[in-house]
Structure 1
């Protein structure tokens, strides 16, 4: 019999099928959730407390995986994932989400406010992120900007304005540097960039989302103002922020995704990669 070689297209399909199987299996293992449980609209967080509040709000069980926690409000079409802290895990969760193709993802994160007018409890609307963390370099060329989804950010701003919650809009610097508050050279760089906020994940989330075709935005809560003499986060101030603002932060995130669901039913979400 003559040799029958598979076409390149067939080989590519087999390769993609293998990647998808491994990716979905990893997502399930890391989150303790079956792929079918994940809803098309997803909240991301760094905090177990946020998952606890979400689970209590919808009376749904929390899934504990080997790396992350998740909860799925099936009747609301919303899931939440706590992926922990840092740019490597941010890249990981976005890679894993790319295998289930969510319609919208919102990061409910905390950031440091870098302007005099910023106060703990204000919200921050990041339209772009400075890629200072390094992880995103593995996904897009250095010259590629890190942008959040304009559509998702628009819905976030509308929800904040409806509730008359104070928010600021601008660029967020994402870094892996801890205790930069005591690093004069790093602070000089922040001044030159004129970034308005600082965090450890946004640039990675936005860049990997773009690279992997996952629409993502962020609704950030200013948890501290580290450029001020008394603004550096402490155990006491962190506890106060959680107690005062976690509830409304999650409520606004849910409202944004519900509003997006309504818009989708009317005439679509208005974005396509």
Structure 2
């Protein structure tokens, strides 16, 4: 029942069949990244109807080792909902491609952020995974991402990504500042830690590729004209880096990335019995 429900939900949310999904999955919350994917793969499989909640595009291959991108929308609830259902397909990797607020003085708008860990202020998975459980992204995926960024000579930082459920977190900064400082966070977003937590739960290697879109603590909020200019300049490059990292993973580990660090001796899969 669990698997069948998730397969039906995937089709309902994405407008595509579960059979269309590929082994390497990109997650975003921007239509512009979907457009960039279509630009890279003009023959990709797209939703079979209009106005789906989480549209998916698939660059299909005979062995299902192509790429899928899904616009999961904004926020940790959406991220949990989708990755709960995606998990039954057992993808080889999932990569969150998004934007974040830059926290550090020496970050600039357009710099990239790779997560070395996560601060979970989303709380949507606290009952399923205790907040004290440490989460780290896939070392291999991070290595591929860093290699590509180095080759392109693009600025980036490794650090803790702080994921919140509050879209207006900067308006109540006093409530967040202590945790931001204590965790040494370098970026704030609304999905990455949630995706990582479900990746950990379901033993799916995952990582995060964020781009700094604003610096609200430094007087650089996200304004309409500036944001559009930034989006137009960065969207294709951002997606190409994420794509190339997954292609590196596929080339080096054709059978799937090692995930022994995500496994426990007696951890049941998909909420099954522990007996």
**TM-score of the superposed pair, with normalisation by structure 2:** 0.87
Residue in structure 2 matching 1:270, options 254, 258, 266? 258
**Between 183-192 and 27-36, the greater mean CA deviation after superposition:** 183-192
What residue in structure 2 maps to residue 70 of structure 1?
56
**Alpha-carbon distance in 2 for matches of 1:237, 1:220:** 18
What residue in structure 1 maps to residue 233 of structure 2?
244
Matches within 5 A, 1:81-230: 81-189=70-178, 190-229=180-219
**TM-score of the superposed pair, with normalisation by structure 1:** 0.88
How far the C-alpha of 1:248 sits from its partner, in A, is: 0.3
What residue in structure 2 maps to residue 21 of structure 1?
4
How far the C-alpha of 1:165 sits from its partner, in A, is: 1.1
How far the C-alpha of 1:247 sits from its partner, in A, is: 0.8
Deviations 1:63-89, CA, capped at 9 Å, x for gaps: 156321110011470010001000000
What residue in structure 1 maps to residue 39 of structure 2?
56
Does the Cα contact within 8 Å between 2:99 and 2:210 map onto a contact in 1?
Answer: yes
Structure 1 residue ranges (4+ consecutive) displaced by more than 6 angstroms after TM superposition: none
Does the Cα contact within 8 Å between 2:159 and 2:184 map onto a contact in 1?
Answer: no
**Alpha-carbon distance in 1 for matches of 2:193, 2:117:** 8
What residue in structure 2 maps to residue 9 of structure 1?
none
Q: SS of the residue aligned with 1:106? A: strand
How far the C-alpha of 1:234 sits from its partner, in A, is: 1.1
**Alpha-carbon distance in 1 for matches of 2:184, 2:253:** 36
Root-mean-square deviation (CA, aligned residues, Å) is: 1.6
Q: SS of the residue aligned with 2:251? A: helix
Higher gyration radius (CA): 1
* Residues paired across the two proteins, number: 254
Residue in structure 2 matching 1:38, options 21, 24, 32? 21
Q: SS of the residue aligned with 1:24? A: helix
Q: SS of the residue aligned with 2:188? A: strand
Q: SS of the residue aligned with 1:42? A: strand
Give structure 2 stretches of 5+ with no counterpart. 264-275
Deviations 1:94-133, CA, capped at 9 Å, x for gaps: 1111010100111111111100110111100011110111
How far the C-alpha of 1:139 sits from its partner, in A, is: 2.1
